[in-house]
Amino acid sequence: MAEQSAMPQEGWIERHPLLVSTLGYGIVCGLTFPLMISSTFLKEMSLSHGAGNSFGTLFFLAYAITMIATAATHLFRRKRIHRRRMVSAFGAVFLGNVVMLVRYLGHLSGEWPYAVLAAGLIGYGLATAELGWMARIATLRDEGRLALERAVPLAFACGAGVAAVIFLVTGTIELSFALAITALSSLPLMRNQPLEAIGRRISFSKTGAFDFVKAISYLAVFSFVFGAVSQVATNAEADLLPIEAQAVLGIVVAAAIMFAGSLRTSKRQPASDLYDLLFPVVAVALIALPFITSQALHIAAAVLVFVAYYLSSMNLRIILCQLATRDNVSMWVYLSVALGVGSLLILGGVAFGAAVLTEENLIAGLALVSL
């Protein structure tokens, strides 16, 4: 009887792979985006109740360390990833939010041990959950059940909606919402099934190596710029549109552009269409930013940088999943290396942006970023 009652739910999940993937991965993105935005200006925001200015940075360090450690452990490992890894990932995210809820209710002190524990649990959990969802989406794509180029931007758009809700609500409502959607995102990955096939060989090609380095390089550049410009944008007057809204708008616009590109009949790789466009757009925005006196134009220039970052971020996920299939390399290796590097460079950009502001020479600092 129990098996029969479980059949309709499993059947529904299998019949709607794009919708389930969009919601599941989108929730993971939506939990990550506010913490990413928080770390860019080292302030307490969103899920960082009580952790103070350290929480965003600690989260990103835990996220990056998890990614790099995952790449190292999976480089020569041919073992399939099963349900147990996802249980630990979502359990860590859930427990981290419970710790923050207990802190918010006044039962824990907001000292360094609390900040390290909460940020470490959520950083590890969201990093591993993101890799798990991307592995699942890549597997569905290999089976011909969804288009990777559509699933990723739709998930990012869903994540933007989740992030907007997190920014709008506060206190116990915010943390309860985070706990509920964490459980919802975990359900499709909790079944005892492999998240990707075992690679039987590794065959790096010159083209694959070039595309891999190119994708990481562009994400690295835009990650650094994202950190620096968002740091500057936060300290500028933004009565028309606060930094949270600018970031959410950047995600939505980037997702819409990427999804629109997936509807074309052309089968060219996303990298060939985006990279030549993104660099000049970001360079122009950076050069113009210090000289813009209009608040609306200043916001537009900052949003352009955010759009470029999120476009390159989505593009990287799509490209690396395709390369992993072609080169028969674990996606956990390719993607964790790229996202780990990108996370560290966001923090590098944040530090650079903070240094620029302390020198009170915004024009020279942004000119250096532009170069």
Residue 23, pLDDT > 90, answer yes
pTM tops 0.75 = yes
Q: What confidence tens digit (pLDDT) does each residue in 122-161 have?
A: 999 999 999 999 988 988 888 888 889 999 999 999 999 9
Distance, CA of 333 to CA of 72 (rounded, Å) = 8
* N-terminal to C-terminal alpha carbon distance within the chain: 65
* Per-residue confidence (pLDDT) for residue 2, from 0 to 100: 44
Q: 77 lies in a domain?
A: yes
pLDDT, mean of residues 219-248? 74
214 assigned to some structural domain: yes
Identify the top-confidence range among 106-110, 179-183, 263-267, 314-318.
179-183
pLDDT tens-digit readout, 73-90: 877 666 666 678 889 999
Q: Is 111 left (phi over 0), alpha (psi -120 to 50) or beta?
A: beta
CB 97 within 8 A of CB 175: yes
Gap between the Cα atoms of 129 and 88, Å rounded: 9
Inter-CA distances, 219 with 72, 166, 212, Å? 20, 26, 11
* Residue 2 within any structural domain of the chain: no
pLDDT of residue 266: 57
Both tokens of residue 75?
């480089």
Query: Is pLDDT above 70 for 67?
Result: yes
Q: Are 154 and 26 in contact (CB under 8 A)?
A: yes
3-state class (DSSP) for residue 318: helix
User: Helix (H, G, I), strand (E, B), or coil: what is residue 347?
Assistant: helix
Highest mean pLDDT among 74-78, 199-203, 235-239, 328-332: 328-332
**Residue at 181: amino acid letter:** I
**What pLDDT is recorded for position 194?**
62
How high is the pLDDT of residue 301?
81
Residue 5 lies in a domain: no
User: Is residue 53 in some structural domain?
Assistant: yes
Structure tokens at 18: 């794009």
Q: What is the pLDDT of residue 269?
A: 52
Share of the chain above pLDDT 70, in %: 72
> Is residue 195 a contact partner of residue 189, using CB atoms and an 8 Å limit?
yes
In a domain, 3, yes or no: no
Tally helices (H) and strands (E) across the chain.
Answer: 13, 0
- Pairwise pLDDT comparison (175 vs 354), residue with the higher score: 175
Question: pLDDT confidence of 60, banded at 50, 70, 90?
Answer: confident
pLDDT at 47 over 50: no
Which of 125, 155, 123 has the alpha carbon at shortest distance from 138? Answer: 155
Is the residue at 353 inside a domain?
Answer: yes
pLDDT at site 265: 56
Considering its fold, how many domains does the chain have in total? 1
Sign of CA dihedral 167, 169, 170, 174: negative
Closest CA to 93 of 178, 184, 214, 212: 178
C-alpha span between 111 and 45 (Å, rounded): 16
Contact assessment for residue 114 and residue 103, using Cβ atoms and an 8 Å cutoff: yes
pLDDT for 298-355, tens place per residue?
788 888 888 888 988 998 898 888 887 766 667 788 889 889 988 888 877 777 766 7
The values of phi and psi at residue 23, to 5°, are: -70, -45
Is 7 among the domain residues?
no
Lowest mean pLDDT among 86-95, 154-163, 217-226: 217-226
Q: Determine the average pLDDT of the residues in 57-67.
A: 90
Q: What digits encode the pLDDT tens for the residues 331-342?
A: 788 889 889 988
Instruction: Provide mean pLDDT across the span 190-219.
Output: 67
Task: Kindly report the CATH number assigned to the domain that includes residue 258.
Answer: 1.20.1250.20
Rounded alpha-carbon distances, angstroms, from residue 317 to 62, 227, 270, 276, 357: 20, 20, 11, 18, 33
Residues of the domain holding 353: 12-370
